[in-house]
A and B are shown apart, each in its own frame.
Chain A
Amino acid sequence: MSTLVELESIGVAFRTKLHMGSKRFWALENVSMRLNRGDRVGVIGRNGAGKSTLLRVIAGILSPDRGRIERANASCQLLSLSLGFLPHLSGRDNAILSGLLFGLSYRAIARCLPAILEFSELGDFFDEPISTYSTGMVSRLGFSVAMQVEPDILLIDEILSVGDAEFREKSGRALHDRMHNGTTVVLVAHDDEAIRRICTHALWIEHGRSIMYGKVSDVLHAYHQDTQPTAAVTVRT
């Protein structure tokens, strides 16, 4: 099995304030993981553990301040809804703009427009400015555009379920299909059920450190055994 991304003792620091001499804050301190082709990895950990930061490192948006990262020649995309949407543009133009930001070519998006129109169920509203849309309509459009992106590695921060009950089910199904067609996935989720259903592996991180990486059931079991998070972490450092 080929390795797509390998992280070795990664650390990422942010500046806390814009003032001169402001301190650095290490969002990730020491995380290691290996992502093989076809893996579906669920990232778990408490709030502020560094899960979203980790996704942005894998996506290549953040470069680590220490540690080593190696990546094979594979495209990688962090899935965000309504990326770059502008209120005065029509649904169609926003779909194109968002698609371009996701790294698709103009031709590729133009080809996807009928599918986006159909999936989003926007009808004639597709050519109206999205400032006239309801929140539900904007998120339906956002989801439909995001679904057109087909990277080698799909990064998802929280399960994207949007719209009313009916659309939620439809989008959930589409996402499920997308993740089970051999795509490599890294997923941040708070509910165990989703991770059990979708993932092949799980990574547990706490306070910016990777605690455990392995089979989903083992990691989830250990995670829930760990009732005193802070104490446990100090033992491990």
Chain B
Amino acid sequence: MRLHMLELIFFSTYAELHAERSRSYLGFAWWLIDPAMQMGVYYFVFAVALKSTAPDFLPFLLIGLTVWQWFKSSVTHGGLAIWQSLPLIRQVKLSASVFPSVQILADTTKFAFIFSLLLVVLWCTGYPPNATYLALLPVLLIELIFASAVAYLVAAVVPLIPDLRFVIEQILTVSMFMSGVVFSLQDVPAPWRTVLSANPMTELIEAVRNILIHAQWPDWIALGRVALISMLLFAAALLLIQRLTPRYVKLAS
């Protein structure tokens, strides 16, 4: 039964990625063009127009955006997945968590490509690989768990209150600025800095930056805290989906 669920998730992910390719002229190339354009816009605004003089600003920005974008797309796509799959949920007995999982996996695949490109860019601009790269695996794994947890949570509630989908985008934009993606938390006044650093995404983005730019090992205690929060949230979100599944089937279509 478990194996069958995994097969369904993996094959649906393949179908999802395949769909994206066939829906556009350039296909897979968009996986790289899209984030590259976004990075270009932010770089223009912050580095060129606003003349940010912070050291290492280019890698700082690129890493922040890449890591954030993975979280954001997983939450937006995964968060709508159950709502969009209601017709299928009405026809067949399935665990509804399959649908957000597929979206998260598809976005993770795309992230893998973008992240590899980012590494190449960093190597070419004077930030060579280092021993702390070993810590990337646990850090990114924790982000995957955290992103999935948030996506499942949103996915669980959107079918019952579809209006939420108009709000998600705004909340994510605010969260992006509160996660230290485009400016450093050091620039934020003291009381706010404590509030913002409680955000798991801030911790994760900082950890990736420290590894890639400064060859610095992560703060394992802070990371452990984020891991614990992520896993508890993950379990709670899955439980919520399981509890709400009987209600999805009975919603007005």
Tell whether A pairs with B: yes
CA distance A65 to B9 in the complex (A): 30
- The size bracket of the interface on A is 20 to 34
Nearest chain A CB to B96 CB, angstrom units:
12
B93: Cβ under 8 A from any A Cβ: yes
Chain B residues whose CB sits within 8 angstroms of the CB of A61 once the complex forms: 90-93, 249
CA distance A16 to B250 in the complex (A): 9
Nearest chain A CB to B238 CB, angstrom units:
19
**Quick one: CB contact mask for A147-184 with B, threshold 8 Å, 1 for yes?**
00000000000000000000000000000000000000
B3: Cβ under 8 A from any A Cβ: yes
Contact A62:B11 (CB < 8 A) given known A86-B19, A101-B94, A105-B4: no
Do residues A18 and B15 form an inter-chain contact, with CB atoms below 8 A?
Answer: no
B162: Cβ under 8 A from any A Cβ: yes
Chain B residues whose CB sits within 8 angstroms of the CB of A86 once the complex forms: 15, 19
A83: which of B7, B92, B246, B250 is its contact (CB, 8 Å)? B92
Contact A78:B249 (CB < 8 A) given known A88-B22, A89-B18, A105-B3: no
Do residues A22 and B18 form an inter-chain contact, with CB atoms below 8 A?
Answer: no
A224: Cβ under 8 A from any B Cβ: no
B51: Cβ under 8 A from any A Cβ: no
Do residues B11 and A96 form an inter-chain contact, with CB atoms below 8 A?
Answer: yes
B117: Cβ under 8 A from any A Cβ: no
Chain B residues whose CB sits within 8 angstroms of the CB of A16 once the complex forms: 252
B23: which of A18, A88, A97, A103 is its contact (CB, 8 Å)? A88
Chain B residues whose CB sits within 8 angstroms of the CB of A62 once the complex forms: 246, 249-250
B8: Cβ under 8 A from any A Cβ: yes
**Complex interface residues of chain A between 39 and 80 (CB less than 8 A to chain B):** 56, 59-63, 78, 80
Chain B residues whose CB sits within 8 angstroms of the CB of A103 once the complex forms: 4, 93
Do residues B4 and A80 form an inter-chain contact, with CB atoms below 8 A?
Answer: no
B134: Cβ under 8 A from any A Cβ: no
B33: Cβ under 8 A from any A Cβ: no
Contact A22:B252 (CB < 8 A) given known A88-B19, A97-B15, A100-B8: yes
**Quick one: CB contact mask for A5-23 with B, threshold 8 Å, 1 for yes?**
0000000111111100010
Contact A101:B92 (CB < 8 A) given known A88-B19, A106-B7: yes
Contact A100:B3 (CB < 8 A) given known A14-B252, A61-B91, A83-B91: no
CA distance A84 to B92 in the complex (A): 10
Measured CB to CB, the nearest residue on chain A to B159 is A18
Chain B residues whose CB sits within 8 angstroms of the CB of A93 once the complex forms: 15, 18
> How many residues does chain B have at the interface if contact means C-beta atoms less than 8 Å apart?
23
A63: which of B4, B91, B246 is its contact (CB, 8 Å)? B246
Measured CB to CB, the nearest residue on chain A to B87 is A84
Measured CB to CB, the nearest residue on chain A to B94 is A101
Chain A interface, DSSP helix/strand/loop, else mixed: loop
Chain B residues whose CB sits within 8 angstroms of the CB of A129 once the complex forms: 22
CA distance A13 to B22 in the complex (A): 41
CA distance A90 to B90 in the complex (A): 24
A126: Cβ under 8 A from any B Cβ: no
Do residues B4 and A18 form an inter-chain contact, with CB atoms below 8 A?
Answer: no
**Complex interface residues of chain B between 1 and 15 (CB less than 8 A to chain A):** 3-4, 7-8, 11-12, 15
B171: Cβ under 8 A from any A Cβ: no
**Complex interface residues of chain A between 105 and 131 (CB less than 8 A to chain B):** 105-106, 129
Chain B residues whose CB sits within 8 angstroms of the CB of A59 once the complex forms: 93
Chain A residues whose CB sits within 8 angstroms of the CB of B88 once the complex forms: 83-84, 101
Chain A residues whose CB sits within 8 angstroms of the CB of B12 once the complex forms: 97, 100
Do residues B8 and A80 form an inter-chain contact, with CB atoms below 8 A?
Answer: no
Do residues B7 and A100 form an inter-chain contact, with CB atoms below 8 A?
Answer: yes
Measured CB to CB, the nearest residue on chain A to B162 is A18
Do residues B91 and A78 form an inter-chain contact, with CB atoms below 8 A?
Answer: yes
Do residues A15 and B4 form an inter-chain contact, with CB atoms below 8 A?
Answer: no
Do residues A14 and B250 form an inter-chain contact, with CB atoms below 8 A?
Answer: yes
Do residues A106 and B11 form an inter-chain contact, with CB atoms below 8 A?
Answer: yes
CA distance A88 to B154 in the complex (A): 28
**Central interface residue in A60, A88, A93, by most chain B CB within 10 Å:** A88
Do residues B252 and A15 form an inter-chain contact, with CB atoms below 8 A?
Answer: yes
Chain B residues whose CB sits within 8 angstroms of the CB of A56 once the complex forms: 90, 249
Do residues A12 and B250 form an inter-chain contact, with CB atoms below 8 A?
Answer: yes
Contact A80:B15 (CB < 8 A) given known A12-B250, A106-B7: no
Would you list the 6 A-B pairs with minimal beta carbon distance, nearest first? A88-B22, A100-B8, A106-B7, A63-B246, A14-B250, A60-B93
- Give 13 A-B contacts (CB < 8 Å), ordered by A residue: A56-B249, A59-B93, A60-B93, A61-B90, A78-B92, A80-B92, A83-B88, A86-B15, A86-B19, A88-B19, A93-B18, A105-B4, A129-B22
